[in-house]
Amino acid sequence: MKKFAVLLSGAGVFDGSELHEAVLTLLSLTQAGVSYQCFAPNIEQMHVVNHLTGEVAVGEHRNVLVESARIARGDIKATDELDIQAFDGLVIPGGFGAAKNLCNFAVVGSECEVAPSVQTFIGEFVEANKPVGFICISPVMIPKLYGEKAKGTIGHDSETAHAFNLMGGEHVDANVEQIVVDEGRKLVSTPAYMLAENIAQAHIGIDKLVKKVIELA
């Protein structure tokens, strides 16, 4: 049985992993007969957002690993616990946590850097030539991880696509139900809630992405 890692970035669309995307990823992997292990960096969130009001909760602090454990029902490991030989590939759900905690794209755009522990974690999959699927906003990390001309999509938001290209990537416009595949790099991306208007729409692209990364493995 193939086994995939799933990298989470907290719990909640505005400051962590997008919950629907994360759960749909786990569902698609399971339905495809693949086992998974959730991971998250053991670092502090950039900030905490009150999801009822949309406002930053000043003075509140949360840990990305601890919050991600909510989604994984407690079965989660820190990124530095990765044994790359145990995994066939990786999937990274979106949510603003991907652009705030896994990297700092939300703050500095094309000048962003991937968090060191995350760079090391994803880098192991890249170096081992194992497939990685990026969902929603998480593809903004692709150029920093894969270098010049790596292909990916965040949908068709022109500002984010421009930043992707500025970082050296090759952005490909896509609709919500589509995936973009960089075959040579075993790299797959889909817009999900960058474009999805409901959970059913998000599911279409995510399920295609999961099936493709499994095929590439």
- Please tell me whether residue 181 adopts helix, strand or coil conformation: strand
Active site residues: 136
Q: Give the number of other CB atoms < 10 A from CB of residue 157.
A: 16
Please say whether the beta carbons of 42 and 78 come within 8 A. yes
Task: Please state, in angstroms and rounded to a whole number, the distance separating the CA atoms of residues 7 and 86.
Answer: 15
Cα→Cα distances 60→56, 63, 96, 180, Å: 9, 11, 17, 38
Task: Please state, in angstroms and rounded to a whole number, the distance separating the CA atoms of residues 68 and 202.
Answer: 20
